[in-house]
Every structure is written in C-alpha cells, then in structure tokens.
Structure 1
Amino acid sequence: MNTKLEKPIRLRNLTYGNIVENLSHVSFGNYHLPNPNDGGTSVNNETSFESWKKRMILRYPNAEVELIPNESWSSRVQVIDKSFQYDQSIFVKSKSNFLSA
C-alpha cells in the first residue's frame, strides 16, 4: 500500500509506517520528531514513535503533521498546531531570557 503523504495528516492518524514510507532516505532509520521545546525526540521503532505520539496528542489533540522529505533532518516532520507553535515560542523566549540574564 502506498502511503506517500502529499498534504498534512491528523496526528492521531499518523503511523510509524507513514514516517518510514515518506522519509525512507533517512540514515540509520532515526527520525527526528519535534517537541514543544527547542529539542526533539529521535525515534527508530514503532514503540518509541507511539510514545511520542501519545504525549503529543494529550497536549495537542487537534494537531496535524506535515512530512517534508527535502528539509533538513530537524525539520522533516512539522507539527501544525497554534498551541504547539505558541508553546515553542514561549520556551525559546524564556530560554533566551535566562541565557542573557
């Protein structure tokens, strides 16, 4: 079954198979998934993917995900959700304020 995604998909419908199919060129099978801070989660199996997904759905139940194979390794998976973007911006701003103090 071809699962190439050409448009965003609801996070709750996203599978590890979607990630592998759409980002199969990633070396060593490690996929970088974004977190609401400035870091990410590296997954290389379905169990670690499901753990990340479960945490994300609890905080962002209406989020969508876009897979962009040609982006840099840290930007291939994009979470599309206003609350997620807001949380990321607050984290980055707080971190910047802390480091400049």
Structure 2
Amino acid sequence: MKLSRKRIILIIVAVAAIFGLWRFNSVSGIKTVSVKKVEIQNVQISKTISVSGAVKSKKDAQLSFGTSGRIKNINIQEGDPVNTNQLVAALDAQTLSSNL
C-alpha cells in the first residue's frame, strides 16, 4: 500500500500537533502560584465628600418690621428650614411697651 505525499505530510503535521498539545498541557509546564489566605472582617465604612465653595440660596427674603425693639429669643438655628407663619424670633415685651 503506497501512501501519497500529501497523506504523509498530513500525518506528520497531525502527530506534531498532538505532541505540541500534549507538551503544552503537561504537568511540568504548569506554574504554581503562592496564595496568602486572609480572614474576612466586617468593618464600618463611612462615605464623606469634602468640598469647598460658596452656597447660594434659591430664594431670598427682605424682612421689615413695623415696630423696632430688642430681640428676646431666636427660635431657629442658621441653616434650619423655615415654614410659612413659623415664629422665627420674639421681641422683648418691655422694649415694645416703652416704644409706644
């Protein structure tokens, strides 16, 4: 039985490919990697962002009063939201009666 030249070349290429795959996947070709084990821990992480700049309000209000006097107490802090008809400050009653 005579093999053609193409078949011989095909067999040689197939044997070389099988040998190459075997060599590529052989145990001696695998590299070991050292691994460090670490135990998992629960921790609190807070998200904060610090920025600098100027803050501008959407609305401004001009206040005017019919009576002058000394402020007795202020019922809000800077930055507090204010509602309609909310008492913001109170005048001293003695100052009011002396102005009449």
Relative to the length of structure 1, the TM-score reads: 0.17
TM-score scaled to structure 2, two decimals?
0.17
Higher helix share: 1
Structure showing greater radius of gyration is: 2
